[in-house]
Structure 1
């Protein structure tokens, strides 16, 4: 698989704006090809040559999501016809460096092999050329491929069947993915978690036949700075809901509860491979939330790594329990100066924003502004959710320091605030990707069915910004 400067194969991809005149072969296709956004038409020519027309409508091709979609749509359309060598003519797109990277990401996300569990799976090779640009595309292609590789890694981890990706296997996948970078990897096993008294992680995963772990990835791209951002991702590899068993209609997706963990691993790998001048620590608590004779149940009180006690009101609110220990570890052991946590955390966020917008809860205007600007560059959508003291009161417990459920309402807010209470007053930002980490039907042409790899590149962009 490769993307190169120059012509490749006998098929050319041409982009056409709605109402545009004078483009090649207009006289042959003008009556049937209206060039609405993402319209496609394959025109056979002489001697096995072909042209694929892709409609742009009236869209701004420099908008990140658009530039990714138009290239991805072309790649996927040609794949239907088993055409694996072709060239993009990007002359009339007039892409700048930033939009070209997004355009190339659309290509890589569409043609790079995804992990398959079919016995007869074949790796399909593709060769793609780029013509019609004066940009030095070599470093731009490299950046796009690095970012895309991390997004694909995140998708593969979330898509993995739970019997292929127990916590131990997840830690091994993480270590393998970052092994040839400047990232330092430390893996804490169950014995070490017990010595540290990490009651949140152990409470959730300690009774599984496949024990929990904590993965710590350290990248120090700016040793002169004392700043160290912690990015903490929920890594539940299978979530039955515990004794608060999930309804049967939700059981099909219980393997995909590690999207936050996959995103932070992918993000720190991007930073290391691009040699970003930042200091970042990625922390992944990973466990299984299953049912066993000695599993935790509603009404239990767990003692977290911070020493604070937690009343368990719902065993299906397990993600915040493991994140509590991980966030405390980030602040106390890794000396994080600010904390971002990300998780497939609440169904409530899906009710608010559906499957294309992530919910953000934060106590730092500065972190929000930086993260929002980064999301504009990657094309992902996020919305900030306000909170107040009344929401913090919803987490007050009669028998412990805090409870892991806030009540019937404001579930996304209270889940985030639960995690915030373990950040020990460090600037904090929480992203709930329960709606955006997984799609049964892709919303954008550069997505595949199931895992999206959401926030992998936005977190990296935020930290490079």
Structure 2
């Protein structure tokens, strides 16, 4: 069961509570005047020792104290508080705390840091339900309810809950293995999420895709025993403030073997159930927007298939005719994500969109360039839109690094026998992949997000956890909700 976030007008006596204290605190605020003298002295001594997380056990209940960071911008301070939520969660788990009150004494009338602490707690508490049948192996969640006292409004708290549910929805999709989430099942899960949240869904099946001549998606699917799907999700509220929609395109490769350009294993192939993280993120964003009734018209497109070497699998040297009519020489069947995204990007143009994003675990080059600490971005959107995305990245700490798309990079994907090929040079691999995609979205403002680094983690990393992270859900939600 997910944690419930709620608003509380007052802090009841004898409740398990955490207090956010401002940086540099040396004595407890007057609001905590009823704390026993011995406890006050203990906390004061811990503060003097520069402790950032302090616990006082009253036996009937516990008080926790989290000291906010003094370093950096407001966004970095909020991120430090999220990480404090992760650290606090371990203590709450050990203490078997089921219900926790949060009071922000660091921000006065502004509940921003209380929300950040709740965010860190909530995302840390996420566990993939999995498929264990041994009842003893199943872990019961200890923390089930977080109540924020005072500052943050009930509406802001509920909005945060819906966004975090969108992140966890994306994580659940990413963490599901291929035999539990093929392309058809993925499409069905997106439709189920739409039924729950309130957005509309349409699913194109194989005959429809063949009729549309989506040559990239169909080619990647040739080696699979399972059919491809193309899912259209649409959130279109009556009070939408944008005349033209924003379109989010998510890569939906539910498992990537590399095709005939087979990936090595163990290593490169082991975690390839995560190759649909972009599609999962788009689903999470649409879910959050619809649940929060955000007045922005947004369309999500997710082409989905697995990439296998069986049957009539496409081979290096093949020439594909794409949905747009462009021809592509295949030099490597493991550069498949850009092929299915290319069809979806060309399809996106029919909506005359305000701006198109594509989100994809596209290249190892992006992961090597910025690691798990950031997302690579590039595109043709204007500077104002890119700046707004960077600002959203700072607010959510899903930071982007903008790469260039200079004309010279087009040389990297020139083909002798087709319009372009699907593989660049050894250098600038993330950029040549972006340059490939650019050919299919020409004339439309567009941003490409390569999330290969942070999308799936093989070791725990604070509140992002281990496995699927749901990265870019919070980023894109923040960007879209702040569009005027």
Q: Same fold (TM over 0.5)?
A: yes
The 8 Å contact of residues 19 and 105 in structure 2, kept in 1 or not, is answered as: no
Instruction: Tell me the residue number matched to 2:92.
Output: 78
1:110 counterpart = 2:110: no
Instruction: Tell me the residue number matched to 1:279.
Output: 297
CA distance in 2, matches of 1:224, 1:31: 53
Q: How far is the alpha carbon of 1:34 from its aligned partner?
A: 6.4
CA distance in 2, matches of 1:183, 1:235: 19
Q: How far is the alpha carbon of 1:327 from its aligned partner?
A: 0.7
Q: How does 1:292-303 map to 2 (within 5 A)?
A: 292-303=310-321
Q: How far is the alpha carbon of 1:148 from its aligned partner?
A: 0.2
CA distance in 1, matches of 2:154, 2:296: 24
Q: How does 1:407-418 map to 2 (within 5 A)?
A: 407-418=425-436
1:129 to 1:321, Cα distance in 2 relative to 1, 3 A: closer
Q: How far is the alpha carbon of 1:266 from its aligned partner?
A: 1.0
The secondary structure found in structure 2 opposite 1:446 is helix
Q: CA RMSD in A?
A: 2.4
The secondary structure found in structure 1 opposite 2:314 is coil
1:377 counterpart = 2:389: no
The secondary structure found in structure 1 opposite 2:231 is strand
Q: How far is the alpha carbon of 1:241 from its aligned partner?
A: 0.9
1:241 to 1:94, Cα distance in 2 relative to 1, 3 A: farther
Instruction: Tell me the residue number matched to 1:307.
Output: 325
Alpha-carbon displacement from aligned partner over 1:146-200 (angstroms, at most 9, x marks no partner): 0000000111111111211111111111111111344221000111111111110
Q: How does 1:256-267 map to 2 (within 5 A)?
A: 256-267=274-285
Q: How does 1:61-72 map to 2 (within 5 A)?
A: 62-63=74-75, 64-72=78-86
1:51 counterpart = 2:63: yes
Instruction: Tell me the residue number matched to 1:2.
Output: 4
Q: Please, which of 160, 167, 170 is the counterpart of residue 151 of structure 1?
A: 167
Instruction: Tell me the residue number matched to 2:380.
Output: 363
Q: How far is the alpha carbon of 1:67 from its aligned partner?
A: 3.5
The secondary structure found in structure 2 opposite 1:306 is coil
Instruction: Tell me the residue number matched to 2:256.
Output: 239
The 8 Å contact of residues 363 and 429 in structure 2, kept in 1 or not, is answered as: yes
Instruction: Tell me the residue number matched to 1:42.
Output: 55
Alpha-carbon displacement from aligned partner over 1:77-105 (angstroms, at most 9, x marks no partner): 31133222232232234362554443332
1:103 to 1:13, Cα distance in 2 relative to 1, 3 A: closer
1:57 to 1:393, Cα distance in 2 relative to 1, 3 A: same
Alpha-carbon displacement from aligned partner over 1:359-385 (angstroms, at most 9, x marks no partner): 101122232122112222222111111
Kindly indicate which of the two structures has a greater share of residues assigned to helix: 2
The 8 Å contact of residues 98 and 142 in structure 2, kept in 1 or not, is answered as: yes
Q: Please, which of 403, 412, 424 is the counterpart of residue 406 of structure 1?
A: 424
Instruction: Tell me the residue number matched to 1:89.
Output: 103
1:279 to 1:3, Cα distance in 2 relative to 1, 3 A: closer
The 8 Å contact of residues 44 and 50 in structure 1, kept in 2 or not, is answered as: yes
Instruction: Tell me the residue number matched to 1:353.
Output: 370
Alpha-carbon displacement from aligned partner over 1:247-303 (angstroms, at most 9, x marks no partner): 221222111111111111111222222222222110000110111031111111111
CA distance in 1, matches of 2:301, 2:436: 18
Indicate the larger mover: 84-93 or 433-442. Answer: 84-93
Indicate the larger mover: 425-434 or 61-70. Answer: 61-70
Alpha-carbon displacement from aligned partner over 1:314-352 (angstroms, at most 9, x marks no partner): 1111100000011111113x3334311110011111221
CA distance in 2, matches of 1:264, 1:42: 40
1:422 counterpart = 2:436: no
Q: How far is the alpha carbon of 1:215 from its aligned partner?
A: 0.2
Any unmatched runs of 5+ in structure 2?
29-34
Alpha-carbon displacement from aligned partner over 1:37-80 (angstroms, at most 9, x marks no partner): 8x4343323x4332333343424695242342233432333113
1:393 to 1:410, Cα distance in 2 relative to 1, 3 A: same
Indicate the larger mover: 73-82 or 276-285. Answer: 73-82
Instruction: Tell me the residue number matched to 1:14.
Output: 19
CA distance in 2, matches of 1:62, 1:93: 11
The 8 Å contact of residues 19 and 35 in structure 1, kept in 2 or not, is answered as: no
1:328 to 1:55, Cα distance in 2 relative to 1, 3 A: same
The 8 Å contact of residues 61 and 93 in structure 1, kept in 2 or not, is answered as: no
The secondary structure found in structure 2 opposite 1:431 is strand
The secondary structure found in structure 1 opposite 2:211 is helix
1:161 counterpart = 2:177: yes
1:393 counterpart = 2:395: no
The secondary structure found in structure 1 opposite 2:68 is strand
Instruction: Tell me the residue number matched to 1:431.
Output: 449
Any unmatched runs of 5+ in structure 1?
none
